[in-house]
Copies of this chain bind each other. A is one copy, B any other.
C-alpha cells in the first residue's frame, strides 16, 4: 500500500487553520496529529483529543529517545508531535496534518524531507488584524503579540512548499487548494520512482 503524505499546515492567528483543516478531516483520507504537552488541561479539554497531557520528565525522556518529530518550549511548557502516532497513520496510507509553527515545520522538514509544507495566510495583514479584533476573544496585549509573531513568521514562507490564502468565507476554497496540492504531490515523478518498472511489468 502507498504511504500517506505528511502535511504541515502553519498559519498565523486569524488564518482559519482550524476551519480549513476540519474540511479536510471530513474526508476519510486525512488524519490530524494530536500534540503532546506538559501544560495542564484547561476546562473542557480532553486527553488524546486536544493534547496528550504528559509530565515534563516523560516529555524530556521522549526528546532524548528521538520520539518527538518536533517540539517547542513555550511559556514554561513543552509542546511537541509524537513521532510514533504520525508514522502509524502514514503506514496506513492516510495523510496526516500537523498544525505547527514555523520553528516546528523546520524541524519536521529536516527529519522528513518528503513532508509537504503549507503556509496558510489571511488575504492580507490588515485583514488578519481586523479578524483578530473582530472575534474579540483576546485582549489588546495578546493581539499585539500575535501580530508581532506574524511579522516574524511570514517572511519564512520560502522554507515552505506552498502558500494558500484563506479568504473571508472561503475556507472550502482553501481546503480545495490543499486537496489540489496533495493530489499533485501524489502524482509527482520523484515520489513515484518505480513508474517505468510498473508500467512495463504489469
A155 proximal to B (CB < 8 A):
yes
Q: Residues of B contacting A196 with CB < 8 Å?
A: 154-155, 157
**Which residue, A179, A180, A190, has most C-beta atoms of chain B within 10 A?**
A180
User: Once bound together, how far apart are the Cα atoms of A121 and B192, in whole Å?
Assistant: 13
In Å, the complex CA distance between A52 and B124 comes to: 46
Binds B, one of A20-28, A132-140, A158-166: A158-166
Query: Is there contact, CB below 8 Å, between B181 and A187?
Result: yes
Compute how far the CA of A11 lies from the CA of B179 in the bound complex, rounded to whole angstroms: 25
CB distance from A180 to the nearest CB of B (A): 4
Shortest distance between the CB of A198 and any CB in chain B (Å) = 8
Q: Residues of B contacting A154 with CB < 8 Å?
A: 195-196, 199-200
Interface CB pairs A-B, < 8 A, 29: A119-B189, A121-B199, A123-B202, A124-B198, A124-B200, A124-B202, A125-B199, A125-B200, A125-B202, A126-B202, A151-B200, A154-B196, A155-B196, A157-B189, A157-B196, A158-B190, A158-B193, A161-B189, A162-B184, A162-B187, A163-B189, A163-B192, A177-B183, A177-B187, A179-B180, A180-B180, A180-B187, A181-B184, A183-B184
| Residues of chain A having any CB pair with chain B under 8 Å | 119, 121, 123-126, 151, 154-155, 157-158, 160-164, 177, 179-181, 183-185, 187-190, 192-193, 195-196, 198-200, 202
